[in-house]
Amino acid sequence: MYRKYLPWHIDRKNRSVVLKKPKNPLPIGEKIVLLNWNVHKNNHSLAWLDDFSKLLHRHKPDLILFQEYQTMNKLSILDKQHEYGYGFFPNIVWKNNHFGLINAAKSEILEFDYYMTDEVEPIIKTPKIVLETMYEMHHAQNLRVVNVHMINFVKIKKFLAQIEQIEKALAKDDSALILSGDFNTWNKKRMAILEKLARNYGLQNVAFQGNKHQKAPFPFPLDHIFYKKLTLQKSEVLVDVNTSDHKPLLTTFLSK
């Protein structure tokens, strides 16, 4: 149950975030390219690695937010990309594999926090998590980034309990902010709760043309990106990438 090159085993009494520093860290620039993707635990497959290498080369993201990212007894792709640092927080540990959220950036993490649900999903009995990281921007202000994987297949009060955890991150200060991830908003009630959260904290929702990231057979998208104190320049669903059951979302922001 221990991963050889990490110093911990996660359980509810000993939760940890693994941090890696970028080789030559720089503040977040005026232009911020964000890649958000639930990678469906596929990030060690050859097909996924080929897709991701092409995305890195073509889009050069400044921020990478993955859900269901898998680590093993060998370095993952983001360990080998020396220009990126990261924070990684797992919610599942199985044998030598860890699965969870990773926030990667070419900038150094100034602060981080993390939240795990008290409740677990049925059958697999795993909790869901939130990972929060803070970065310096080029004009000496800060950018808070909140990566989310919401609990699923449970009563709405358990979904609301995780929304309250997200609120703890959003309420800390008035920094520029990105809230992104897989929110599992597959019905009208869950979607309404998320929209209310955004309104309460002054967040804008990134619109993606034609809802091409919507996952069949659900009537609402599961993946969302919200932002505050940034200007949205471009948003795109990378529809040609098929190595996960979710589509990558690519957005470009300008810092104010």
C-alpha distance from residue 47 to each of 6, 44, 120, 198, 225 (Å) = 26, 9, 31, 35, 26
**78-98 in b/e burial notation, b at 16+ Cβ within 10 A?**
beebeebbbbbbbbbbeeebb
Tens digits of residue pLDDT in 64-89:
999 999 987 677 889 989 999 999 99
Name the pTM for this structure. 0.93
Inform me whether the pLDDT recorded for 5 exceeds 80: no
Give residue for tokens 């470009």: 252
pLDDT at residue 11, as a whole number: 53
Please state, in angstroms and rounded to a whole number, the distance separating the CA atoms of residues 89 and 250: 22
∠ Cα 12 14 18 (to 5°)? 115
Average pLDDT in the chain:
91
Please state, in angstroms and rounded to a whole number, the distance separating the CA atoms of residues 194 and 69: 23
Inform me whether the pLDDT recorded for 134 exceeds 50: yes
Strand 85-94: give its sheet, edge to edge: 18-20, 85-94, 97-105, 63-71, 31-38, 249-255, 230-237
Ordered domains of the chain (ranges, CATH)? 18-255 (3.60.10.10)
pLDDT at residue 14, as a whole number: 58
Tens digits of residue pLDDT in 218-227:
789 999 999 9
Instruction: Summarize the confidence of residues 163-178 as an average pLDDT.
Output: 96
pLDDT at residue 20, as a whole number: 93
Instruction: Tell me the percentage of the chain whose pLDDT exceeds 70.
Output: 92
Please state, in angstroms and rounded to a whole number, the distance separating the CA atoms of residues 96 and 91: 13
DSSP state of 239: T
Strand 176-182: give its sheet, edge to edge: 111-116, 129-136, 142-149, 176-182, 223-228, 204-205
Tens digits of residue pLDDT in 121-133:
988 788 999 999 9
Please state, in angstroms and rounded to a whole number, the distance separating the CA atoms of residues 30 and 40: 31
More confident residue, 109 or 139: 109
pLDDT at residue 23, as a whole number: 94
- Alpha helices, H only, the chain: 46-59, 77-80, 156-170, 188-200
Inform me whether the pLDDT recorded for 7 exceeds 50: no
CB-based contacts of 57, cutoff 8 Å, min separation 6:
none
pLDDT at residue 255, as a whole number: 93
Tens digits of residue pLDDT in 193-239:
999 999 999 999 999 987 768 776 778 999 999 999 999 999 999 99
